[in-house]
Structure 1
Amino acid sequence: MGRSKLERFKVIAERQNVIENGKALFTSLKGKWSEEFFGNNHDLILEIGCGKGDYTIGMANLFPNKNFIGVDIKGSRLWKGSTIAEENGLTNAAFLRNFIEHLGENFAPGEVSEIWITFPDPRPKKGDVKKRLTSPRYLNLYESLVKPGGLIHFKTDNLELFQYTLELLQERNPEGFIYTYDLYASDLQHHTLNIQTTYEKRFLAEGLPIKYLQYTNTGTTKN
């Protein structure tokens, strides 16, 4: 492990806007994030696999009356997002360092108002299908955490991953289901809040169309 990563881990270990295993709040905030961490009763919105937290930061700037948490396991990436949040005084933005499959340990059913899945690893190998962040087990997890009527968003550049996710959702036939294979040639851009991640900017520069979908959670998880 490089020296810079070790230094970043030390920083986030002391940073109040990063919650990770070993900190007292890591196991005590389930069902109480808005009230006990943010000190309000505002909607709670998650960015899944947030990386440097581009959406977390972007949304926190746009919506000061909502709470945002970026979730990722990579501490060195969370260092970047948490640094920006701290430097900009964003008290409505925080970061959780944990594996996505363990979200049920950190959040109560229906505690979350909205989830964004932004440019996850496409996991193209056949043996990795279950690890895709839009596989059935993950969709079931998200739908258990998002309150009825809450939104789930997904953005990617990867055609295979998008088609895979699209087919799964078409079988589920969720409410409010909309999608596009080319976000910036569609009329759905306003749904993505004009926020672009670091990866998205790179993909656009390479001429890759951005895929996007959104649906409404009904509160009835399907297998």
Structure 2
Amino acid sequence: MGRSKLQKFAAIAECDNVIQEGDELYGNIAGKWHQVQFDNNNPIVLEVGCGRGEYTIGMARLHPEKNFIGTDIKGARIWKGSSMAIEEELNNVAFLRTYIERIEEQFEEHEIDEIWITFPDPRPKDRDIKKRLTSPGFLDKYTKILKPGGIIHLKTDNLGLYEYSLEVLQERKVDDLIYTSDLYSSDLQDHTMGIYTTYEKRYLAEGVPIKYLQFKVR
């Protein structure tokens, strides 16, 4: 592990906008995010697998009337988003360092209003189907922490993951499913708020269409 990563891990350990294993609040903040972390009752939007937090930060800039939580297991990535939020004084942003498989431990039932899944690992091998962030197992976890009627978004460059996700959602009979295999040639662009991640810009430069879908949980 390089020195820079060690420094980043040390830095996020001191950040008030990052909760991770070893912190007093980790595993004890479920149901308390409004009170303890944000000091308001605004809607909470969760980004699953947030990476460097580009989407989380982008949404927080546009919507100060909402709270945003980016979650990822990679501490060095979270450090970037956490640092940006501090520099820009975005008090409506927090980061949670945890495995997505443990997401239910950190939120109370119906505590989240909306979830974004942005450019996740597509997990193309059949043996990894259960690890796809739109697999039935993960959708069950999201549904538990989301409010009834809560919205889930997926943004991806990967056609296989997009098609798999559509198949899963159509089998579940979710509400208000909308989708496109080419976001920037569709009329759904407003749904993604004009936020581009670094990876997304790279895909677009290579001529790869961005896929997008949105639905509500029951």
Q: Give the TM-score normalised by the residue count of structure 2.
A: 0.98
- The CA distance in 2 between the partners of 1:66 and 1:35, in whole Å, is 14
Aligned-pair CA distance for 1:25: 1.2
1:109 deviates by 1.0
Task: Give CA-to-partner distance per residue, 1:60-86, whole Å, 9 cap, x none.
Answer: 111111100000000000000001000
Q: 2:95 — aligned with what?
A: 95
1:203 aligns with 2:203: yes
Q: Deviations over 1:37-57 (max 9, x none)?
A: 100111111000000111110
Matched with 2:136 is: 136
Tell me which residue corresponds to 1:68. 68
Whether 1:34 aligns to 2:62 is no
**Deviation string for 1:72-110 (max 9, x for gaps)?**
000000000001000000000010000001010000110
The separation in 2 between residues aligned to 1:163 and 1:87, in whole angstroms, is 39
Aligned to 1:170: 170
1:106 aligns with 2:106: yes
Identity %: 61
TM-score after normalising by structure 1: 0.96
The equivalent residue for 2:59 is 59
State the SS of the aligned residue for 1:195.
coil
Partner of 1:119: 119
Aligned to 1:221: none
For 1:122-179, what per-residue CA distance to the aligned partner results, in whole angstroms no more than 9, with x for missing partners?
1111111111111110011111111012100000000001100110001112111000
Counterparts of 2:146 and 2:24, CA distance in 1: 25
Q: Distance between the aligned counterparts of 2:204 and 2:173, measured in 1?
A: 30
Which AA in structure 2 matches 1:65? Answer: E
Q: Counterpart amino acid of 2:46?
A: L
Matched, 1:47 2:41: no
Return the offset for 1:27.
2.1
State the partner residue of 2:14.
Answer: 14
Q: Which amino acid aligns with 1:130?
A: K
For residues 12 and 84 of structure 1, the distance between their equivalents in structure 2, rounded to whole angstroms, comes to 12
**Do residues 216 (structure 1) and 216 (structure 2) align?**
yes
Counterpart-to-counterpart distance in 1, 2:165 and 2:28: 33
Q: What is the root-mean-square deviation in Å for CA atoms of aligned residues?
A: 0.7
Structure 2: unaligned runs, 5 residues or longer: none
3-state SS, counterpart of residue 27 of structure 1: coil
Task: Give unmatched runs, 5+ long, in structure 1.
Answer: 219-223
Runs (4+) off by over 2 Å? none
- For 2:190, the equivalent position in structure 1 comes to 190
